[in-house]
Amino acid sequence: MPPGRSRNALPDSFHIGEFHVEPSLHSVSGPAGTVRLEAKVMQVLLCLAEHGDHVVPKERLIGAVWPDTFVAESSLQFLIHEIRQAIDDPGGRQSWLRTIHGIGYSFCGEVLVSSMGGPTSGLELPAAWLIENAGFHKGLALGNAGISTKHTLALINRGGASAAELLTLKEKIQHAVEEKFGIQLQAEPIFVGFD
């Protein structure tokens, strides 16, 4: 694959965690607001996002932004710094963008692809990730209904919960995921202990 060519073409917009990226507008929106990125910063961000969690060598990133031009590595490091600021991921934390010293960079989490404001049809995303990133973590309790401390996808009766309480929790989770990501979770329930 020639430098600068992507392995997975991205649509109009995508998410990196809680950050919504719109390449055509050179913008990244998150909890603190919207940040406009310079064209070269967006080019690097796109190249990284297109490769998902695979390491992208520094040479490939430099070739994508400055083809046929010799550029010091510090120029790429500056663009990476700008991306980290836009997605609130300081270099010491590296929650979303990992530095592979001497080699390149990669995203740590998943790049969630969306098009026209909603998910791409047929794209499968981990439901547990969606649920947790919508604010429902392992061990969460709402009354006597809750989420298992071991499995995000398992709703449990903590003692005395009715079927209605468990269904209410399920519906709250589904609503939160749809509100945050535009994705409708489909339940595949296995009811144990209900008559």
Signed CA dihedral, 55, 108, 124, 148: sign only: positive
From residue 120, give the alpha-carbon distance in Å to each of 26, 90, 112: 21, 30, 9
CATH of 125-195, one of 3.40.309.10, 3.90.78.10, 1.10.1740.10, 2.40.160.20: 3.90.78.10
d(CA 100, CA 119): 30
**Which sequence spans correspond to the domains of the chain?**
13-112, 125-195
pLDDT tens track of the chain, all 195 residues? 333 333 445 556 777 877 888 888 999 988 888 999 999 999 999 888 888 778 999 999 999 999 988 989 999 999 999 999 998 887 677 888 889 998 999 887 666 655 434 444 444 456 777 788 788 988 999 899 999 888 877 888 888 888 889 889 999 999 998 888 777 787 766 666 655
Using DSSP's 3-state secondary structure scheme, residue 176 falls into helix
Confidence (pTM)? 0.55
Whether 125-195 and 13-112 are alike in CATH topology: the answer is: no
Using DSSP's 3-state secondary structure scheme, residue 114 falls into strand
User: How buried is residue 73: exposed, middle or buried, by Cβ count under 10 Å (0-12/13-18/19+)?
Assistant: exposed
How many Cβ atoms from other residues are within 10 Å of residue 190's Cβ? 6
Q: How far is CA 69 from the centre of its chain?
A: 32
Domain 13-112 sits in CATH at: 1.10.10.10
